[in-house]
Amino acid sequence: MQNIIAYQGYQGAYSHLACKNAYPEMEAVACESFLDAMLMVEEEKAKLAMIPLENSTAGRVEEIYRLIPKMSLYVIGEHFEPVRHCLLGLKESKIDDLKYVLSHPQALAQCQNHINELGLKAVAKLDTAGSAKEIKEKNDKSCAAIASSLAADIYDLKILKDNFEDIIGNVTRFFVLSKEQIIPEYDRNETYVTSVIFEVRDIPAALYKALGGFATNGINLKKLESYSLSRGLPVSHFHIDIYGHTEEKSMQLALEELSFFAQKIKILGVYKKFKSH
């Protein structure tokens, strides 16, 4: 298997930047969709996939919650990547030349105040880095893109304004997916996260009872998400991220209690809590 980490999007996308920052020794390969990136790992064409799970401004990436249960992949880590938007233009462009700004709708929304201040017309596109690629190809000084500094390097563009977002501190949380389940050896000096998916049984107060074991065993839940795997009638599927390691007795007791009130339980992964540098 090649030393490849797959991601969704064009070269220069924030997922690409996350790959370079988290795994600089690996070759980052762009894919058209999240499914394509995950399939590369499942088919052993890549070792890992860097998949966005949620953003502090835009919220969760709902598609990921539907895809992960259908794949034979495991979470081996998490990565938090700061989103720092840049206003990019051609090398010879000046801000006074600009009339249009291209980017993903979320990026446009996150920079709306600055866009209005410059009097630019926002044009929605499918991808931030794809927008940078497009203005390079258009070769039009009146067009700019909102994308990463990495996109500026890749497409030979000029950063006209850095930190172009309206609110500083926007962060995306990524899952690192592998075909191999890699569980780190427990170290009491480390903080771990265990990710689990399950369905609740058809009994009264099933979710309350299913999660009760974590409370009684003194285990903190980091995250709880509900989702549906189909477009039909809603089914009670849940994703939980828990602070703890499966080698801890308290976690084992909590998971045992979960099994009394839930079904189709799958431990997606046990990994160290992300530490920013």
Residue identified by tokens 């991808």 is 127
User: Which residues have a Cβ under 8 Å from the Cβ of 120 and sit 6 or more positions away?
Assistant: 98, 99, 100, 101, 144
Q: What angle, rounded to 10 degrees, do the helices at 206-216 and 249-261 form?
A: 170
Q: Catalytic residue at 274?
A: no
Q: Which of 34, 128, 164, 174 is catalytic?
A: 174
CA dist list (Å): 36 to 31, 232, 241 = 6, 25, 25
Of 52, 54, 55, 32, residue with least CA distance to 110: 55
User: Which residues have a Cβ under 8 Å from the Cβ of 65 and sit 6 or more positions away?
Assistant: 225, 227, 239
Residue identified by tokens 């980017």 is 103
Q: Catalytic residue at 172?
A: yes
CA dist list (Å): 11 to 125, 126, 149, 154, 226 = 15, 14, 12, 7, 32
Q: Which of 34, 164, 172, 238 is catalytic?
A: 172
Question: What spatial distance separates the first Cα and last Cα of the chain, rounded to whole Å?
Answer: 30
Please give the DSSP secondary-structure letter assigned to residue 142.
Answer: T
User: Which residues have a Cβ under 8 Å from the Cβ of 32 and sit 6 or more positions away?
Assistant: 8
Q: Would you please indicate which residues are annotated as catalytic (active-site) residues?
A: 172, 174
